[in-house]
Amino acid sequence: MARPPAPPPRSARLVALYALANAGGVVAYLPLLSLLLPLRIAEVAPAARIDWFTLAAILGAVVASIANIAAGWASDRSVARGGGRRGWVIAGLVALLPAYAAVALATTPALLVAAVVGVQLAVNLLLAPLLAMMADEIDDAHKGVATGLLALGAPLAAAFAALLLTLSNDADVALALVPLAVIVCVLPLALARPAMAAPIAAASSRRATRRDLAIAWTARLLVQVAGTVLSLYLVFYFQSIAPPGGDARRGAASVGSLMALASVLALPAAVAFGRLSDRTGRRLAVLCGAAIMAATGLLVMAFARGWVLGAAGYALYAVGSGVFLALHSGVAMLLLPDPAHRGRDLGIVNLANTAPALIGPALTWALATTQDFSRALVALAALTAAGGVTMLAVRGRGSD
């Protein structure tokens, strides 16, 4: 099969700006939810930290789901009126500043949960139009590489989180630096001149496309349950297999460093497999293999009884999951049934990212304890493998 043409210089620059902006979007929520929020919860509600943390995750997910669809729909309306989506991205940046200030200033668990909900609202106001812009402006022949570069977000966010905990013992300083870093990453794209809309290949039928999109949504949902659980409870998991009496803050910093390393490994894998999927068209086989890799890593974590083996399992999971989630975004863009509603439809697809924040904490609460996550991890491995296999049922444009 002939190699797709290289993108022109302006397109290549926009791809880089999209990758950086998406990384900024990940920085907006990942350090908070995975590392900073557990520490803040422990400060204001040490005896009930898992209960309040789970409540914050669930309420935040509900708000994120609604906000993402609403922001995507609003950006669609702006495009239909002859405007663009970039104004909504800037609005998300502006809203992020007071939301993070509220997290830093919260003195009770209830106020902290409310502040986290505010962060989720701002983050999704930012991210919903951002992904729709990528679907608008990047042609189909390069969506694999472009979405592979979305994997840049996790290592950058994890490295930034680890750096925050390493360089500062002041949580307020760390919480102030997060929105500033997001602005640095996102503003170059927000101020860039929009590219021409990417051409849409003809779909066999809108009904068939919606069927395939529903299958892809289900697959991502199954895989994302594990991602949600690990992003929220990874610190608690490593505490469960660590020797007693360790320093909680140093343990959180070690987990942040592991997340950074694992996601760095995922980045070249996602880009390489994204290019492979562009060249061969075997997108679904790549996605299925990546999900099986992630499930294997979860099983290693389930049976690990020490930090080293648990970390190795997490690294294997992170690479497989990073490849799957990044390239799945490209397949979803190919399956969108109507270019006039890209923002809204991608918001609906995004429910596969936010709905697991309702499922994952409930599953963890039912199957895990602060001392043992094994049963929960085995269940997550089964769901992740099922998600990969489900993608093989897609028959439309994403399968060629």
Confidence of residue 168 (pLDDT cuts 50, 70, 90): low
10 pLDDT above the threshold of 70: no
CA distances for 124 relative to 50, 67, 351, 363, angstroms: 24, 6, 11, 24
**pLDDT, greater one: 245 or 52:** 52
Q: Which of 72-86, 215-229, 362-376 has the highest mean pLDDT?
A: 215-229
Residue range 308-328: average pLDDT? Answer: 91
Contact (Cβ atoms closer than 8 angstroms) between residue 151 and residue 264: no
pLDDT above 90 coverage of the chain, percent:
28
- Write out pLDDT tens, residues 282-303: 788 889 999 999 999 999 999 9
Structure confidence at residue 2 (pLDDT): 43
- Go through 365-400 and write b for each residue having 16 or more CB atoms within 10 A of its CB, e for each that does not: eebbeeeebbebbbbbbebbbebbebbeebebbbbe
Q: Is the pLDDT of residue 243 over 80?
A: no
Q: Tell me the average pLDDT across 191-219.
A: 68
More confident residue, 358 or 392: 392
pLDDT for the residue numbered 203: 44
Residue 62 tokens, joined: 């509900």
> The domain at 9-399 falls in which architecture?
Up-down Bundle (1.20)
Q: Which two tokens stand for residue 268?
A: 């070249």
Q: What is the mean pLDDT of the chain?
A: 82
Alpha carbon 170 to chain centroid distance? Answer: 26
Closest C-alpha among 361, 355, 352, 358 to residue 387? 352
Question: Among 23-27, 96-100, 195-199, 387-391, where is mean pLDDT lowest?
Answer: 195-199
133 pLDDT above the threshold of 90: no
The pLDDT score that the predictor gives to residue 3 is 46
Say how far apart CA 313 and CA 56 lie, in whole Å.
27
Q: Answer with the residue of higher pLDDT: 307 or 161.
A: 307
Q: Which of 171-175, 213-217, 321-325 has the lowest mean pLDDT?
A: 171-175
Residue type, 148: G
Task: Give the whole-angstrom CA distance, residue 26 versus residue 381.
Answer: 24
Q: Is the pLDDT of residue 31 over 80?
A: yes
- The confidence score (pLDDT) of residue 204 equals 45
Report the 10 Å Cβ neighbour count for 9: 8
Residues 80-115 pLDDT 10s: 887 788 889 999 999 999 999 999 999 899 999 999
Note the pLDDT of residue 363: 85
Segment 351-369 shows an average pLDDT of: 78
Q: pLDDT higher for 365 or 400?
A: 365
Q: Residues 6 or more apart from 217 whose CB is under 8 A from it?
A: 332, 348, 349, 351, 352
Backbone torsions φ then ψ of 144, nearest 5 degrees: -60, -50
In the three-class reduction of DSSP (H, G, I as helix; E, B as strand; rest coil), residue 372 is classed as: strand
Q: Report the C-alpha gap between 166 and 399 in whole angstroms.
A: 44
Structure tokens at 70: 């609403």
CA distance 108 to 61: 20
> pLDDT tens digit string along 172-186?
788 888 999 999 999
Q: What is the predicted pLDDT for the residue at 143?
A: 66
Q: Which two tokens stand for residue 354?
A: 């936010």
The mean pLDDT value for 214-243 works out to 87
SS (H, E, C) 142-199: HHHHHHHHHHHHHHHHHHHHHHHHHHCCCHHHHHHHHHHHHHHHHHHHHCCCCCCCCC
Coil, helix or strand for 83? coil
Average pLDDT (121-131) is: 90
Mean pLDDT lowest for which of 24-33, 49-58, 237-246? 237-246
CA distances from 9 to 6, 220, 223 (A): 9, 32, 35
Paired tokens of 213: 């999109």
Q: Which residue has the tokens 């497999």?
A: 273
Q: What's the number of CA atoms in the CB half-sphere (13 Å) around residue 20?
A: 16
Residues in CB range of 35: below 8 A, 6 or more apart: 161, 164, 165, 235, 252, 255, 256
